Structure 1
Amino acid sequence: MSAPAPISAAESPPGASSGDPLHDSLLMRALRREPVERTPVWLMRQAGRYLPEYAAVRRGHAFEEFCKRPDLSAQVTLDAQAILGVDAAILFADLPTILEPLGFSLTYDPGPVIGNPARTVAAVDAVREVEDTSALGFVYETVRAVRAQLPANIPLLGFGGAPFTLASYAIEGGSSRHYEHTKRLMYGDPDRWHAFLSKIGRAVAVHLRRQLAEGCQAVQIFDSWAGALSPDDYRRFVLPHTKALVEAVRPHGPVINFLTGNPALLPALAECGADCVGLDWRVHLADGWATVGHDVAVQGNLDPTALYAPFPELKRQTAAVLDAAGGRPGHIFNLGHGLLPTHDADAVKGLVKLVADLSAR
């Protein structure tokens, strides 16, 4: 794997202060693989149902309304960062919303449901080319509101879905175990498949660049469902599109690329060229980092269910992740996937403090 170019040619030397609190923040320095005084930590789905404060804001609002109300989305984004004391806020938004400008009908029951899934040639061909994502203005308004209220040294992370995961939503009509409809198109009509994913990837690139322009410091790409693919299929049908997406976004800000469910895909994932690769818990962090290369940062990778363990066991597993990183610059602590609705808020707060205490140097 070739080393990613520096995030910016104008970066200060490692360890030097630029005088910009965001530039000098723990997370941004870790993304640049610079030495830090402790390992930065944030948690996927840190604004979620496990938090009583989230439930209080959400109460009385349907999920679709909740996602499209910048005042509510900004509030839960800010609350989660402040309550947990994490080193970054992650924008509260829903991954499939980008499908609406592409021409898909999105509702919730309770999860995302696509009312017009693309299961015919005509439906796939009718998907729109999106060059303007102003229909998602509520997302950008949320970004601006959060950035205006976050502490000066806390980065805001934006996010978007990877082309395969979004295509699967669009074709299956919602979640799936086997991706029958998705793989039928993928295997049966490769040219149409690639044209479809190219449209999705270009739309996501516009969306992520806009988030960065409005006030995010970095973005994460979620490929939540690509673990259902073999390494050969990922390389043939997905890698070119995720790589093109990363290349389209990176000049505008750092990119974290996260894929879950299949460690065998890590060598191909590394070829996408992101600044940081997210690792799930199915791979030992040291092995995963060696696989993707030490010339990129890594994020992860505690099993989310470790938060149900007694405190001594949670401490042991947290220390094991930090030990696996070996103090090498470029590690961002996170879970191997998102927080769960049944997690205990006090346990989550305890994890954040554990990371700070155990990694201080």
Structure 2
Amino acid sequence: MDEEIEIHTGSAAANPDTPLRQAFRGERPDTIPVWFLGQSYLHTPENWADLSLSEQNAFALNPNHVIPDALAPVEQWDVDAAVCFSDVLLPLHLMGIDLRTGLGEDGEKIMPLRSPSRVDQLVNRPFPDWTAVEQIVREARAALAPEKTLIAFGAAPFVVASLLVEGIVDPGQHLQTRVFMQSQPRCWDELIRWASNLLKGFLAAQVRGGAEALQMVDPWVRVLTEGEYACMAEPYARGIFEDFGDITKISCNLGADQLLGIIAPYVDVLGIGDNITLEDAARLAPGKVLQGNLDTDYLYADRDTLRGVVDEVLRAGRAAPSHVFNCSGGLPRDVESDDIRWVVDYVHNAH
């Protein structure tokens, strides 16, 4: 995708200068902003698994479903940001790839992808029309209060490429990916470049629709060495971020603390997992805005215990120029809504 990415700077400039927008710029606001990974998800019908891929895609691109689910966390918990498309694998679904079977809509076998012929078969498929994605984001931005930030959300290229090679959604140590990368580097380059262009299109549609920050999640790179990441993954993630110019860029690489120093130079905000403290992350990436890193297990604890853990995250977050409170992974669906709202109110009122 070679066209210039349009950013709606005009509408963003008209928004109030909120704590989250200040924190994203590296300033320390009076109120600590907060939002959660996994705070939004599509409420699907009970027969979701029985629907065809095209029926699932039609549901996932219906604004009557997507927008209420995206805005619900803002309305229920008063978090500072909203996310429209929390399913990072949606671009693959829109490519007609059924992750349940590994087949394309035409019945061709696509996953697992471990040969040059399979790569050629994939990269010659046309990219989706992103018009519906852009329109949903535009409508969500119009419905969202101006003091709230809308974040474009997607996977990093390594996630998509590795998923296709492994052929399963949760591949553990990504052994097949590492073998493919090392044994077929030219095929890997072709595949991950294709994934980069696919994801760039998905993120660009969200930015054109009015998202004022973009976040890419790349937790699977935690299995890579610094050398593997620098050669086989980093150039493609960096290339996406660099194509977006003047917009807040967030890289969420939970568990990949060995890579923070490599990632930090080309992003504005680093998402941090609970395998490392925010103080240690600040030492590894000095001067960088940090986002994180509440261990979601504590959301099931009593209030006194939870208060102590939240206080520690807030204290450690002061090691960075600014800090956006978030969790260290996806927000569990069975956490009590009142407990989430309590955390948001507590963080907003902390000093």
- TM-score normalised to the size of structure 2? 0.86
2:18 is equivalent to residue 20 of structure 1: no
2:48 is equivalent to residue 62 of structure 1: yes
Task: Give 1:137 deviation, angstroms.
Answer: 3.3
Residues 2-50 of structure 1: CA distance to partner in whole angstroms, max 9, x if unpaired?
xxxxxx9x99xxxxxx98334x1221111111231211000011124xx
Show the 5 A alignment for 1:107-118. Answer: 107-108=99-100, 116-117=110-111, 118=113
Amino acid at match of 1:277: L
**3-state secondary structure, aligned to 1:34:** coil
Structure 1 pair 298–179 and aligned structure 2 pair: CA distance change class (3 A): same
Task: Give 1:127 deviation, angstroms.
Answer: 2.5
8 Å Cα contact 1:99/1:170 also seen in 2: no
Greater displacement, 330-339 / 257-266? 257-266
Query: Aligned partners of 1:278, 1:43: CA distance in 2, in Å?
Result: 11
Aligned residue in 1 for 2:52: none
Amino acid at match of 2:48: A
Aligned residue in 1 for 2:69: 76
Amino acid at match of 2:240: L
Query: Aligned partners of 2:132, 2:100: CA distance in 1, in Å?
Result: 18
2:277 is equivalent to residue 284 of structure 1: yes
Residues 311-360 of structure 1: CA distance to partner in whole angstroms, max 9, x if unpaired?
1111111111111122754211101111012222221111111111224x
Aligned residue in 2 for 1:320: 312
8 Å Cα contact 2:28/2:323 also seen in 1: no
**3-state secondary structure, aligned to 2:140:** helix
8 Å Cα contact 2:252/2:271 also seen in 1: yes
Aligned residue in 1 for 2:299: 307
Aligned residue in 1 for 2:165: 171
8 Å Cα contact 2:24/2:269 also seen in 1: yes
**3-state secondary structure, aligned to 2:326:** coil
**Sequence identity (%):** 25
Aligned counterpart in structure 2 of residue 237 of structure 1, from 228, 232, 237: 232
Gap regions ≥5 residues in structure 1: 1-7, 12-17, 49-53
Residues 63-87 of structure 1: CA distance to partner in whole angstroms, max 9, x if unpaired?
7354232210111111121101101
Query: Aligned partners of 1:329, 1:37: CA distance in 2, in Å?
Result: 13
**3-state secondary structure, aligned to 2:153:** strand
Query: Aligned partners of 2:337, 2:134: CA distance in 1, in Å?
Result: 28
**3-state secondary structure, aligned to 2:335:** coil
Aligned counterpart in structure 2 of residue 347 of structure 1, from 327, 333, 339: 339
Aligned residue in 2 for 1:248: 243
8 Å Cα contact 1:130/1:199 also seen in 2: no
8 Å Cα contact 2:110/2:122 also seen in 1: no
Gap regions ≥5 residues in structure 2: 1-6, 50-55
Query: Aligned partners of 1:19, 1:140: CA distance in 2, in Å?
Result: 20
2:196 is equivalent to residue 208 of structure 1: no
Structure 1 pair 130–149 and aligned structure 2 pair: CA distance change class (3 A): farther
Query: Aligned partners of 2:325, 2:228: CA distance in 1, in Å?
Result: 30
Structure 1 pair 125–132 and aligned structure 2 pair: CA distance change class (3 A): closer
Query: Aligned partners of 1:129, 1:95: CA distance in 2, in Å?
Result: 22
2:194 is equivalent to residue 199 of structure 1: yes
8 Å Cα contact 2:286/2:320 also seen in 1: no
Greater displacement, 176-185 / 113-122? 113-122
Structure 1 pair 38–304 and aligned structure 2 pair: CA distance change class (3 A): same
Show the 5 A alignment for 1:91-170. Answer: 91-100=84-93, 105-108=97-100, 116-117=110-111, 118-128=113-123, 133-134=128-129, 136-170=130-164
8 Å Cα contact 1:113/1:173 also seen in 2: no
Query: Aligned partners of 2:247, 2:162: CA distance in 1, in Å?
Result: 27
8 Å Cα contact 1:73/1:93 also seen in 2: no
Aligned residue in 2 for 1:263: 257
Amino acid at match of 1:62: W
Task: Give 1:221 deviation, angstroms.
Answer: 0.3
Structure 1 pair 67–349 and aligned structure 2 pair: CA distance change class (3 A): same
Amino acid at match of 1:259: N
Task: Give 1:100 deviation, angstroms.
Answer: 4.6
2:40 is equivalent to residue 47 of structure 1: yes
8 Å Cα contact 1:261/1:280 also seen in 2: yes
- Structure 1 stretches of 4+ with a deviation exceeding 3 A read 57-61, 112-115, 129-133
Task: Give 1:198 deviation, angstroms.
Answer: 1.5
Task: Give 1:179 deviation, angstroms.
Answer: 1.7
Greater displacement, 232-241 / 36-45? 232-241
8 Å Cα contact 2:150/2:211 also seen in 1: yes
**3-state secondary structure, aligned to 1:299:** strand
Task: Give 1:107 deviation, angstroms.
Answer: 4.4
Structure 1 pair 228–19 and aligned structure 2 pair: CA distance change class (3 A): closer
**3-state secondary structure, aligned to 1:29:** helix
Query: Aligned partners of 1:327, 1:149: CA distance in 2, in Å?
Result: 35
Query: Aligned partners of 2:33, 2:162: CA distance in 1, in Å?
Result: 32
Query: Aligned partners of 1:238, 1:252: CA distance in 2, in Å?
Result: 23
8 Å Cα contact 2:269/2:290 also seen in 1: yes
